[in-house]
Amino acid sequence: DTGVSQNPRHKITKRGQNVTFRCDPISEHNRLYWYRQTLGQGPEFLTYFQNEAQLEKSRLLSDRFSAERPKGSFSTLEIQRTEQGDSAMYLCASSLDGFGANVLTFGAGSRLTVL
Amino acid sequence: AQTVTQSQPEMSVQEAETVTLSCTYDTSENNYYLFWYKQPPSRQMILVIRQEAYKQQNATENRFSVNFQKAAKSFSLKISDSQLGDTAMYFCAFIYNYGQNFVFGPGTRLSVLP
């Protein structure tokens, strides 16, 4: 297992286009998180899955954003009708279940640039 | 609201010296974990050290140690014998609500100078 994998690493798109990011977590991790990180800031929570169930969504996740985790394995984060304010690094992280096993393992991130 | 504050946006330290990064947090929860994560330039975030809130003993991990003051809601990171490879953004974070929500601070950019 090579850790958390995210693709693409960098996406440049024009305003109004749709983009999709994929995250492959560590295989035995049943929790998967999406965070957004803007330059010089800490990660901001977007959403969280326990297996295939999306258990929580931040108010940052407008209705242009949707995340899925079919079959509890990989996850996708789609942004529709992108805006320049969506430009950021989108981080995926995974962890084991249980309060005591909650160390997040992060992927390298997918950087979105909206022109 | 659950918040994390890191009051030092940037710090620098000479190689081999010791540096302390500060972090304060606000929560009404009793059960939580605290973390320091490191994000080197253009590289992914990795865990530096973790502290369980119910433990009074401060966590240590090689050159990294914490000073956890629960009553003051303070969680500082001490890096001893700083190395050039310690240059990174350092984020303080905590998780509460039985492992569902991680809250990160804004980060401290640490530069280790030769």
Residue entry with tokens 């330059």: A39
Is residue B6 scored above 90 in pLDDT? yes
Residue whose tokens read 């985790």: A69
pLDDT at B95 over 90: no
The DSSP output letter for B58 is P
% of chain B beyond a pLDDT of 70: 97
Find, among A108, A114, A111, the residue nearest to A4 by Cα: A108
- Give the model's pLDDT for residue B98: 65
Nearest to A42 among B44, B98, B106 (CB): B106
Query: What's the pLDDT at B93?
Result: 94
Residue A60 to residue B113: CA distance in whole angstroms: 38
Angstrom distances, CA of residue A88 to CA of A19, A78, A92, B79, B102: 13, 14, 13, 30, 19
Which pLDDT score is estimated for B56?
A: 86
| Dist. CA B109–CA B60, nearest whole Å | 21
Q: How far is A6 from chain B (nearest CA, A)?
A: 11
Write the residue in B50, B98, B100 that is nearest to A48 by C-beta: B100
Q: How far is B56 from chain A (nearest CA, A)?
A: 16
Both tokens assigned to A76 = 């996708």
Strands B10-14 and B33-39: unpaired
pLDDT in tens, chain A (115 residues): 579 999 999 999 999 999 999 999 999 898 999 999 998 889 999 998 999 998 888 877 889 999 999 988 999 999 999 999 999 999 999 988 776 567 889 999 999 999 9
Predicted confidence at residue B99, as pLDDT, reads 62
pLDDT, one tens digit per residue, over B55-86 is 889 999 999 999 999 999 999 999 999 999 99
Chain B: residues touching A (Cβ < 8 Å)? 4, 31, 33, 35, 37, 43-47, 50, 91, 93, 95, 98-107, 109
Q: How many residues does chain B have?
A: 114
Interface A–B counts its CB contacts (< 8 A) at: 58
Q: What is the pLDDT of residues B33-46, one digit of tens each?
A: 999 999 998 888 99
Nearest to B100 among A41, A55, A93 (CB): A55
Would you call B14 helix, strand, or coil by DSSP? strand
Q: Name which of A101-115, B16-30, B95-109 the model is least confident about.
A: B95-109
pLDDT exceeds cutoff 80 at B8: yes
Task: Say whether B45 and A91 touch across the interface (CB within 8 A).
Answer: yes
Contact A72, A30 (CB under 8 A): yes
Would you call B53 helix, strand, or coil by DSSP? coil
- Sort strands B108-113 and B10-14 into parallel, antiparallel or unpaired: parallel
Residue A108's nearest CA partner among A22, A29, A47, A30 is A22
Which residues 6+ apart lie within 8 Å of A20 measured at CB? A76, A77, A78, A79
Mean pLDDT of chain B: 92
